[in-house]
Chains A and B, each alone.
Chain A
Amino acid sequence: MKNNVKISRMKLSISQQHLARKVGVARQTIGLIEKGRYNPSLKLCIAIAKELDATLDDLFWEEEEE
């Protein structure tokens, strides 16, 4: 699943390790989410969104191009 987690994280200058620690998962899990290789649970999506000060729409909603 495509998402904007990496962009949002980098805008805030937060490392993968820091974000992982804050949301209670492994660094590898954050990397997999950013690469679109793992679809996180809704609970984890919300935790990431809160930590990145963004909405679920900002992070996970795909804009369809017309």
Chain B
Amino acid sequence: MRSWITFLLPEDEYKERKMLFFFAESGVLLFAVLAILLVTNSYFTFDAGTVLLLGVALFLFYITTRYMFAGIEYTDVVTEKAYRKERKVTFLRSLSFLGIFVVLYAIFLGIPSDRGEWMDVIGISMITAIIMFVTTYISLKRSYKKNKELL
């Protein structure tokens, strides 16, 4: 089957089908939320920016969460050794992100001048790196568990 959405889908047919379900579920959920907002529009007033941000965030959050818990990201991690190796890579990748973020911030927005600005930069990058690590770790753990069951 040909569709313009193909470029967003993985090669593997099981993963492709799962992703199509996630996209579809998220689309239906988004439709329901927008319909509710439309009906309640006369009772509550939301500005357009909030509604648009809510819609985009909901759509992306749903797909990402479903993908993370589906255990379909690391399809080849079956052994304890491979799992540990991948976990180490995940940790190092998150750490690298932290460093790169701080460096890029300093290059494009200037070196923070006081303690407060430093705290802001490090705080944001730390939180992002932690979220990045936790989400990838959950995905890895779920994939490993699922793969072991399928041996």
| Interface pair B150/A24, CB less than 8 Å apart | no
A60 to chain B, nearest CB (A): 16
The answer to whether A24 and B11 touch (CB under 8 A), given A29-B75, A34-B150, A35-B150, is yes
Nearest-Cβ distance from residue B120 to partner chain A, whole angstroms: 42
Size category of the binding interface on chain B: 10 to 19
B75 adjacent to A28 (CB under 8 Å)? yes
Does chain A have a CB within 8 A of B80?
A: no
Range, interface on chain A: 10 to 19
| B118 nearest CB across to chain A (Å) | 44
Compute how far the CA of A38 lies from the CA of B16 in the bound complex, rounded to whole angstroms: 12
CB distance from B116 to the nearest CB of A (A): 48
A-B contact count (CB 8 A): 43
**Contact at A44–B13, with CB atoms within 8 Å?**
yes
Are A31's CB and B13's CB within 8 A?
A: no
Do B14 and A28 have beta carbons less than 8 Å apart? Answer: yes
Given contacts A17-B76, A26-B76, contact A31 B15 (CB under 8 A): no
List the B side residues contacting A38 at CB < 8 Å.
Answer: 14
What are 28 residue pairs bridging A and B, where the CB atoms are less than 8 Å apart in the complex? Answer: A16-B150, A16-B151, A24-B11, A25-B12, A25-B13, A26-B12, A26-B14, A26-B15, A26-B76, A27-B75, A27-B76, A27-B78, A28-B72, A28-B75, A28-B76, A28-B143, A28-B146, A28-B150, A29-B14, A29-B15, A29-B75, A31-B149, A32-B14, A34-B150, A35-B149, A37-B150, A40-B13, A41-B13
